[in-house]
């Protein structure tokens, strides 16, 4: 019996999971460039991949002389603990630097130190800065879809560099493509006229709960682009297929419990079979469990003695957290929207 983790059917831009080890010491964690850079103190640019639940991939070979009926997969969970580490995501919108926390713990004492450049690259000329913005400078306002967003306004920093953001907003429109409109817009953009925006290079510092829950100070370099002409419009071996897909939910804060996933797999003598188990939770969490497969009513085999699963659910995707339900077969292929339930209020930053 072989245990793995799969991204079967996931698009290239979706988050995936990777597994290391087998048997007594197995770890499963998100394989995501953004999260990897974040945890290592690296550059924050972009955002985590599209959310997807981890999917256990179990392959079974029947080497006996009789057919085998797999009827249950049992997860004996030693512990499930919420992962309260912050996941800061910064992006530029017009003359704002938006700060979103996709983690489940608080992010406090934030300080953004940045400079503005007229072009990308390490050799570009710095136009202004460094500027320093703190948590007290954050502003909350309405975002798209009725969601609230937290951001730092940087119009003042742009004005100190010679740009006129208010005039740019007035001039953005169809008339900007005329000769006169282009000249007026370039004058309002000042030193940022050539690229139509300002390039942000800086450093974000913040305090958040560490893996053990104690507060830690973290810092990451950041990079982005303020599009000053943004008018707010939207931007554009042999393969053994799984015979069945199943699902289960592990709560984020509980210890010493058992989760049984009913199976319905019939494996003939000398044949192999494969099934997938999607694991969901109500928030990001660290799960420690063993996996046992029961067959022919009274017999069982241990697929993994210890699995440590780091499950990631972005706070901004809270609506995709499952409602409590029984484990069992999945009616449609496992994806990131099949747990979708109505949103009840948006997540806070």
- pLDDT at position 113 is 97
Contact 284, 313 (CB under 8 A): yes
Section 318-347 average pLDDT: 49
Residues 82-117 pLDDT 10s: 999 999 999 898 899 999 999 999 999 999 999 999
H/E element, 330: none
- pLDDT at position 341 is 39
Query: What pTM did the predictor assign?
Result: 0.75
- pLDDT at position 273 is 81
Residue 327 has pLDDT above 60, yes or no: no
Section 46-73 average pLDDT: 87
- pLDDT at position 76 is 93
* Closest C-alpha among 87, 85, 88 to residue 214: 85
* Closest C-alpha among 211, 268, 240 to residue 4: 240
Bin 345: left if φ > 0, else alpha if -120 < ψ < 50, else beta: left
Local structure of residue 175 (DSSP, 8 states): G
Instruction: Round the average pLDDT of the chain to a whole number and report it.
Output: 82
Section 17-33 average pLDDT: 86
Section 112-123 average pLDDT: 89
Residue 241 has pLDDT above 70, yes or no: no
Residue 234 has pLDDT above 60, yes or no: no
């Amino acid at each position: 019996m072989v245990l793995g983790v799969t991204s079967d059917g996931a698009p290239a831009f979706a988050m995936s999971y990777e597994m290391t080890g087998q048997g007594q010491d197995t770890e499963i964690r998100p394989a995501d460039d953004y999260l990897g850079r974040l945890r290592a103190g690296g550059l924050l640019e972009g955002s985590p991949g599209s959310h997807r639940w981890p999917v256990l991939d179990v392959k079974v070979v029947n080497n006996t002389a009789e057919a085998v009926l797999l009827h249950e997969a049992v997860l004996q969970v030693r512990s499930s603990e919420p992962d309260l580490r912050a996941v800061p995501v910064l992006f530029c919108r017009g003359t704002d630097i938006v700060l979103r926390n996709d983690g489940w713990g608080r992010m406090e004492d934030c300080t953004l130190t940045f400079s503005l450049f007229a072009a990308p690259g390490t050799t570009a000329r710095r136009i202004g800065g460094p500027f320093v913005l703190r948590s007290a400078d954050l502003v909350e306002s309405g975002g798209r879809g009725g969601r609230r967003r937290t951001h730092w306004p940087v119009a003042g920093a742009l004005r100190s560099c010679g740009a006129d953001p208010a005039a740019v907003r007035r001039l953005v429109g169809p008339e900007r493509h005329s000769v006169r409109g282009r000249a007026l817009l370039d004058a309002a953009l000042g030193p940022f006229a050539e690229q139509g925006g300002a390039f942000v290079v800086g450093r974000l510092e913040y305090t958040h709960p560490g893996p053990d829950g104690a507060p830690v100070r973290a810092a990451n370099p950041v990079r982005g682009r303020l599009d000053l002409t943004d008018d707010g419009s939207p931007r554009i071996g042999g393969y053994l297929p799984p015979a069945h897909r199943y699902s289960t939910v592990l709560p984020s804060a509980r210890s010493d419990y058992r989760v049984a996933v009913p199976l319905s797999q019939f494996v003939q003598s000398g044949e192999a079979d494969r099934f997938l188990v999607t694991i969901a939770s109500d928030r990001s969490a660290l799960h420690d469990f063993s996996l046992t497969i029961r067959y022919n009513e009274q017999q069982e085999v241990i697929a993994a003695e210890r699995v440590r699963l780091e499950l990631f659910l972005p706070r901004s995707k809270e609506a995709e957290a499952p409602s409590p339900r029984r484990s069992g077969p999945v009616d449609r292929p496992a994806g990131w929207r099949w747990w979708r339930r109505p949103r009840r209020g948006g997540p806070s930053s």
